[in-house]
Amino acid sequence: MDYIQVQAAGPLHGSVPIQGSKNSSLALLAASCLADAEVTLEGIPNIYDFRVIQQIGKDIGLVIERRPNGQMRMDPRFIHSATIDPGKASAYRASYYFIGALLAKFGKVTVGFPGGDDFVSRPIDQHIKAFRALGADVTFYNDHYVVEASQLRGADIYFDMITSGATINAMLAAARANGRTRLFNAAMDPEVVDTANFLNQLGARIVGAGTDKIRIEGVPYLSGGTYSVIPDRLIAGAFLMAAGIRGGSVTVNQIIPEHLGSCLAKLQEIGIELDVQDQSITAYSTGRLRATRVRTGMYPGFATDLQQPLTALLTQAGGKSIITERVYPKRFAHVHQLKRLGADVEIRKESAYIKGGVPLQGNWVHATDVRAGTCLILAGMAADGITRITGIEHIERGYEDAIDMFHSLGARVSRQSMTDDQRQELNEIRSQ
């Protein structure tokens, strides 16, 4: 088994190019099934979830060919099945997009329940509600569910809460439905806008993405084309935070700064200086940070996926910080690991109370999900001694090359193979 080893180093310096957005890529890869011709997607990161999609593609006849520089050729014309293997569907979260993407063409889609980061219960009732509103029947079985509609028809859909996944899925299904669909209380995330832009480039008629009301006129045909995925705002945010934890300067390149508005405001509040350019941001920090209060929220609020690296950062900010998690109120698995490094954090209801400025000490910790992984790498950079992080597979769900990226900034981060002695040490720790 491999683990990530992190040791304290001097200030970070350098710049990193930011990969294409994981969450947008997952939507675009499925959305390509809606096309009636070949599609080329650019900037798709080579991450674990993508490799699962490649296997699903093979099963259903979706041609997926990876070319150099993150370019993907997708040919949906040979899809012969809309049955997604439950095991593969459950290996990641966004497999639910195959329903929206295949329903109009096939009339019946079978798919396993979504997997992905298992930090809390993550219902899909709003996806189901949207499919039913569009005229589909949904039947649940033990390890999969079946969505059927002989003819999807446009409808007005009012989401009970703001959800990016259900907004995108409803948009996919409605793109080729009969008539007009209107989505109310829609998510405004850049990934929603990216999916709408992609579909519109293929000939879809989607208006209003990026606001809370989206109107979709269904079309009978979608052409092929070439499209570049947006950069990953969540990875960019985490690297800017890395500058704060050790001091120094970190530039994130090839990004869209507007996607990071609430994150940038918060980083400035805690004492990180920012130089924002058209497609890059540099964070400067002396390592002296101020405590703050943060509430996560759906876009343009502070992203729940940035809450974990921010928690690591705030363990080093003098004073008391409070992070309130409003999107997934129990998403605090990383806090238990931070405490193993000596962090003083207490969870009460949906909030983490952090006493900052407490020295951290290296230890074995486990990344339970992709963002917990980033949090622990950052915390390890601030800790004395060696921090060893297991659960690399979770980090690889989101990052193409996290270790090299941190390493290139001067961080002492490396991948190591576990020795027999270490395995025994870890077993002893886990049995305590």
Ligand X SMILES: C=C(OP(=O)(O)O)C(=O)O
Q: Which residues are annotated as a binding site for phosphoenolpyruvate?
A: 22-23
Binding-site member from 1, 161, 265, 276 for ligand UD1 (CB under 6 A): 161
Which residue of the chain is nearest ligand UD1 when measured via CB?
165
Whose Cβ is closer to ligand X: residue 104's or residue 372's? 372
Binding site partner of 370, from ligand X, ligand UD1, none, Cβ cut-off 5-8 A by kind: ligand X
Q: Which of 49, 75, 85, 117 is catalytic?
A: 117
d(CA 74, CA 189): 25
Q: How far is the CB of 331 from ligand UD1 (least distance, A)?
A: 8
Give which of 397, 389, 21 is closest to 197, Cα–Cα.
21
Contact 170, 181 (CB under 8 A): yes
Q: Give the type of residue at 86.
A: P
38 phi and psi, to 5 degrees?
Answer: -70, 145
Binding-site member from 163, 181, 262, 387 for ligand UD1 (CB under 6 A): 163
d(CA 344, CA 291): 13
Whose Cβ is closer to ligand UD1: residue 356's or residue 398's? 398
The owner of tokens 């900037």 is 43
Q: How many residues bind ligand UD1 (CB under 6 A)?
A: 20
Q: Does 135 bind ligand X (CB under 6 A)?
A: no
Give, as ranges, the residues between 120 and 139 that touch ligand UD1 (CB under 6 A): 122-127
Q: Does 400 bind ligand X (CB under 6 A)?
A: no
Whose Cβ is closer to ligand UD1: residue 208's or residue 301's? 301
Instruction: Please state at what angle helix 307-314 crosses helix 370-382, rounded to 10 degrees.
Output: 20
If one counts every other C-beta atom within 10 angstroms of the C-beta of residue 303, the result is: 22
Which residue of the chain is nearest ligand X when measured via CB?
116
If one counts every other C-beta atom within 10 angstroms of the C-beta of residue 139, the result is: 10
Whose Cβ is closer to ligand X: residue 100's or residue 362's? 100
Half-sphere exposure of 278 (CA within 13 A, CB side): 0
Binding-site member from 85, 117, 194, 400 for ligand X (CB under 6 A): 117
Q: Does 394 bind ligand X (CB under 6 A)?
A: no
Q: Is the dihedral of CA 117, 119, 121, 127 positive or negative?
A: negative
Give, as ranges, the residues between 338 and 377 that touch ligand X (CB under 6 A): 370-371
Catalytic residue check, 117? yes
C-alpha dihedral (83, 199, 162, 139), degrees to nearest 10: -20
d(CA 391, CA 372): 10
Give, as ranges, the residues between 143 and 162 that touch ligand X (CB under 6 A): none
Pattern of binders to ligand X over 303-332, x per CB under 6 A? --x---------------------------
Q: Give the type of residue at 269.
A: E
Whose Cβ is closer to ligand X: residue 75's or residue 396's? 396
Q: Does 176 bind ligand UD1 (CB under 6 A)?
A: no
Distant-in-sequence, close-in-space partners of 249: CB < 8 Å, separation ≥ 6:
11, 12, 13, 243, 282, 283, 284, 285
Contact 45, 20 (CB under 8 A): yes
Binding site partner of 75, from ligand UD1, ligand X, none, Cβ cut-off 5-8 A by kind: none
Binding site partner of 398, from ligand X, ligand UD1, none, Cβ cut-off 5-8 A by kind: ligand X
3-state secondary structure of 305: helix
Give, as ranges, the residues between 20 and 49 that touch ligand UD1 (CB under 6 A): 23, 26
12 phi and psi, to 5 degrees?
Answer: -85, 145
Binding-site member from 32, 48, 93, 325 for ligand X (CB under 6 A): 93
CA distances, 166 to each of 27, 123, 429 (Å):
11, 10, 41
Binding site partner of 366, from ligand X, ligand UD1, none, Cβ cut-off 5-8 A by kind: none
The owner of tokens 């945010």 is 237
Q: How far is the CB of 274 from ligand X (least distance, A)?
A: 23
* Residues at the interface with ligand X (CB under 6 A): 22, 93-94, 116-117, 305, 370-371, 398
Residues assigned a catalytic role = 117
Q: Which residues bind ligand UD1 (CB under 6 A)?
A: 23, 26, 93-94, 122-127, 161, 163-166, 187, 304-305, 327-328
